[in-house]
């Protein structure tokens, strides 16, 4: 089994460490040996020669000089303590014996010759020793030089071999891998890396080849299809007339089609990859898209005119986890223009119909006058039918005109201080005849006193009349309708409750939609606009309308408006 790359590096560093350590240890050993040899020469021999020279000088000044005697005695004592060579001890003892005899008879100089001879012997012995030890030190130095030269040569050769070969061991696989990666980056997925090493580089080469094989397989199996589908989807998105922008789960922009580019006034390359709130800082449309919830209309200047777009968010999920969002800015300008044309048409037709319908009503009223002529019962029935139809048409045209105000956003309100009681009296007077025809009794529950409301009395009366008319319409003959007005938290509440069949709970959320009629209703005279208009009128005045009902227990319609004291 081959060595791993980590092991090779470790061995290389250990080898360098051993080279440094071995060379250092050998150098220290030989230096210490040379130092020891030199130390021995200084300690054992040169010092002895110095003692001998001092004794010879002192001997020249004796016997008359007492100080010379003391110098001689001192150096003799030091020499006796530094006897290192063979024969040196016997010569030193001779000096001591002769010196003792001289001290007994200072005037006798016969011992001087023997002392000089003994001192010369000591000097000769130490000089011979110095020569011998110097030769030994020279031999040691030569040996050190030889061995250090051999070791340095060997280590130099090995280190040079290491320096030449080891970088190749590292760089060659890296070079092969770099060439392989370059081939893959050029989409040459058939490229393979061949590194016959049983180490990390070998493992990396195997992993690289496995990756290249998978990429090659993926390229020939799915990539072409994926790229084709991606191109096709991008083409479809860019051909759409609606603006489309996509975000990932972190709200970074993923893609923007051509229409959206024009709406944002920014290029796709300037938006893709950026955090959407950061784009919103400098782009009003992006800020509007991120702030709005649900489907809302947006007015955007596009194609040289004011255009209308609806915001339609689409949440992208995978395995119940949200992974992104797509917002479609659907161009509804054509529908808006058609709706506006429809509204203008209805307003024009309704306005034009009011005059002839009023004329029909007036003519029917004149025909009832006996001064014009007496009508038979059959003629009177036909006249009543004409009057009822004219009344119904006049009501429908009035509702259509009100709806055109709502749709165009031009609800004309005349706010003033209005008495809730006066509104109620006006509304009940308008429906009294209808209630009497069905023998329905109106019961009142009014809180006293009632503060005035800040509202348009005509619009509020219209709403209350509509609620009363509906209550009478769906109440059985001889029943009662409960009308109440009370205040709470600076608001005035109006309520009209009948005891008819009521409304099923599933229809309640749609009761205020335009043209909606409760299924199963036998009443065919309405347009389905009355409650929708009532809702718009009340909300335009800052109030709120509601309905409470359960099937078989009647319906309770009501609304509230702020009192004038608010």
Per-residue pLDDT tens digits for 49-67: 888 888 888 888 776 777 8
Q: Is 532 exposed, middle or buried (0-12, 13-18, 19+ CB in 10 A)?
A: buried
Name the nearest CA neighbour of 536 among 429, 341, 405: 405
Query: 63: cis peptide before it, omega within 30°?
Result: yes
**CB atoms inside a 10 Å sphere around CB 5:** 19
Q: Check the CA dihedral 314-316-322-328 and report its sign.
A: negative
pLDDT at residue 420, as a whole number = 92
In CATH, what class is 413-562?
alpha beta
Is beta strand 441-446 parallel, antiparallel or unpaired with respect to 480-488? Answer: parallel
How many Å apart are CA 261 and CA 268, to the nearest integer? 6
List the structure tokens of 224.
């072409």
pLDDT at residue 278, as a whole number = 87
Of 94-103, 295-304, 413-422, 481-490, the one with minimum mean pLDDT is 295-304
Burial 63-102 (b: 16+ CB within 10 A, else e): beeeebbebbeebbeebeeebebeebeebbebbbebbeeb
Specify the length of the chain in residues.
Answer: 566
Q: Is 231 exposed, middle or buried (0-12, 13-18, 19+ CB in 10 A)?
A: exposed
Which DSSP symbol is given to 290?
H
How many Å apart are CA 65 and CA 58, to the nearest integer? 9
* Cα–Cα separations (whole angstroms), residue 80 to 66, 73, 88, 121, 542: 21, 11, 9, 14, 130
Mean local confidence (pLDDT), 239-263: 82
> What is the model's pTM?
0.42
pLDDT at residue 400, as a whole number = 62
Name the nearest CA neighbour of 159 among 59, 16, 292: 16
Name the nearest CA neighbour of 493 among 443, 536, 546: 546
How many Å apart are CA 23 and CA 15, to the nearest integer? 12
324 contacts 244 by C-beta, under 8 angstroms: no
pLDDT at residue 40, as a whole number = 56
Per-residue pLDDT band at 399 (split at 50, 70, 90): low
**CB atoms inside a 10 Å sphere around CB 119:** 24
Asked whether this chain's domains 5-171 and 413-562 adopt the same fold, the reply is no
Is beta strand 416-418 parallel, antiparallel or unpaired with respect to 453-455? Answer: antiparallel
Topology (CATH) of 5-171: 1.20.120
pLDDT in tens, 151-186: 778 877 777 777 776 666 666 777 777 777 777 777
127 contacts 46 by C-beta, under 8 angstroms: no
* Cα–Cα separations (whole angstroms), residue 278 to 243, 264, 294, 501: 20, 14, 22, 57
How many Å apart are CA 518 and CA 79, to the nearest integer? 140
* Average pLDDT, rounded, for the chain: 78
What percentage of the chain reaches a pLDDT higher than 70? 75
Name the nearest CA neighbour of 122 among 199, 46, 71: 46
Highest mean pLDDT pick, 171-180, 192-201, 313-322, 547-556: 547-556
**What is the CATH number assigned to the segment(s) 241-328?**
3.30.450.20
Classified as helix, coil or strand, 439 is: coil
Name the nearest CA neighbour of 85 among 57, 46, 139: 46
Query: 449: cis peptide before it, omega within 30°?
Result: yes
Say if residue 544's pLDDT is above 60: yes
pLDDT at residue 350, as a whole number = 55
Per-residue pLDDT band at 338 (split at 50, 70, 90): low
Instruction: Collect all residues with Cβ–Cβ distance below 8 Å to 83 and sequence separation of at least 6.
Output: 89, 92
pLDDT in tens, 108-128: 777 888 888 888 888 888 888
pLDDT at residue 492, as a whole number = 93
How many Å apart are CA 305 and CA 2, to the nearest integer? 77
Could you state, in order of their start, the residue ranges of all structural domains in the chain? 5-171, 241-328, 337-407, 413-562
pLDDT at residue 494, as a whole number = 95
List the structure tokens of 393.
């048409």
Say if residue 43's pLDDT is above 70: no
How many Å apart are CA 390 and CA 367, to the nearest integer? 14
Kindly give the interhelix angle for 110-185 and 88-104, rounded to the nearest 10 degrees.
140
CA atoms within 13 A on the CB side of 323: 6
Of 35-49, 82-96, 227-241, the one with minimum mean pLDDT is 35-49
């Amino acid at each position: 089994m081959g060595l791993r790359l980590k092991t090779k590096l470790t061995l290389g560093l250990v080898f360098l460490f051993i080279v440094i350590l071995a060379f250092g240890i050998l150098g220290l050993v030989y230096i210490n040996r040379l130092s020891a040899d030199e130390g021995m020469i200084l300690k054992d021999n040169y010092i002895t020669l110095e003692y001998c020279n001092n004794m010879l000088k002192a001997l020249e000044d004796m016997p008359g000089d007492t100080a010379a005697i003391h110098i001689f005695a001192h150096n003799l004592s030091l020499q006796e303590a530094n006897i290192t060579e063979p024969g040196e001890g016997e010569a030193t003892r001779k000096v001591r014996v002769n010196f003792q005899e001289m001290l007994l008879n200072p005037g006798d100089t016969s011992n001087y010759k023997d002392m000089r001879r003994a001192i010369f012997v000591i000097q000769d012995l130490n000089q011979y020793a110095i020569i011998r030890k110097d030769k030994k030190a020279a031999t040691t130095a030569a040996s050190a030089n030889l061995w250090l030269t051999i070791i340095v040569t060997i280590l130099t050769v090995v280190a040079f071999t290491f320096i030449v070969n080891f970088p190749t061991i590292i760089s060659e696989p890296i070079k092969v891998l770099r060439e392989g990666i370059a081939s893959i980056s050029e989409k040459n997925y058939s490229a393979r890396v061949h590194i016959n090493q049983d180490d990390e580089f070998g493992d990396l080469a195997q992993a690289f080849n496995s990756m290249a094989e998978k990429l090659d397989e993926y390229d020939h199996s799915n990539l072409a299809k994926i790229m084709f589908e991606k191109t096709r989807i991008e083409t479809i998105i860019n051909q759409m007339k609606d603006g489309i922008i996509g975000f990932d789960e972190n709200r970074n922009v993923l893609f923007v089609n051509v229409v959206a580019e024009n709406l944002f006034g920014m290029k796709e390359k300037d938006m893709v990859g950026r955090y959407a709130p950061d784009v919103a800082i400098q782009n009003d449309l992006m800020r509007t898209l991120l702030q709005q919830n649900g489907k809302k209309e947006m007015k955007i200047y596009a194609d040289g005119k004011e255009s209308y777009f609806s915001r339609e968010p689409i949440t992208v999920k995978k395995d119940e986890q949200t992974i992104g969002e797509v917002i479609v800015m659907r161009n509804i300008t054509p529908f808006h223009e058609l709706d506006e044309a429809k509204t203008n048409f209805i307003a024009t037709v309704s306005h034009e119909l009011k005059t002839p319908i009023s004329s029909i009503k007036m003519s029917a009223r004149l025909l009832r006058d006996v001064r014009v002529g007496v009508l038979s019962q059959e003629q009177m029935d036909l006249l009543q039918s004409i009057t009822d139809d004219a009344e119904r048409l006049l009501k429908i045209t009035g509702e259509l005109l009100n709806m055109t105000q709502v749709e165009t956003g031009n609800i004309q309100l005349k706010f003033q201080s209005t008495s809730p009681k006066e509104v109620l009296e006006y509304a009940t007077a308008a429906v009294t005849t209808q209630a009497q025809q069905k023998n329905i009794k109106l019961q009142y529950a009014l809180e006293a006193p009632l503060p005035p409301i800040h509202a348009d009395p005509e619009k509020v009366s219209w709403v209350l009349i509509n609620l009363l008319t509906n209550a009478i319409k769906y109440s059985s003959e001889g029943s009662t309708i409960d009308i109440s007005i009370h205040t709470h938290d600076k608001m005035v509440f109006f309520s009209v409750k009948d005891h008819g069949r009521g409304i099923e709970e599933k229809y309640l959320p749609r009761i205020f939609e335009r043209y909606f009629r409760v299924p199963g209703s036998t009443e065919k005279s309405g347009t389905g606009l009355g409650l929708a208009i009532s809702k718009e009128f009340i909300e335009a005045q800052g109030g709120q309308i509601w309905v409470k009902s359960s099937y078989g227990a009647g319906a309770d319609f009501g609304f509230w408006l702020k009192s004038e004291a608010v």
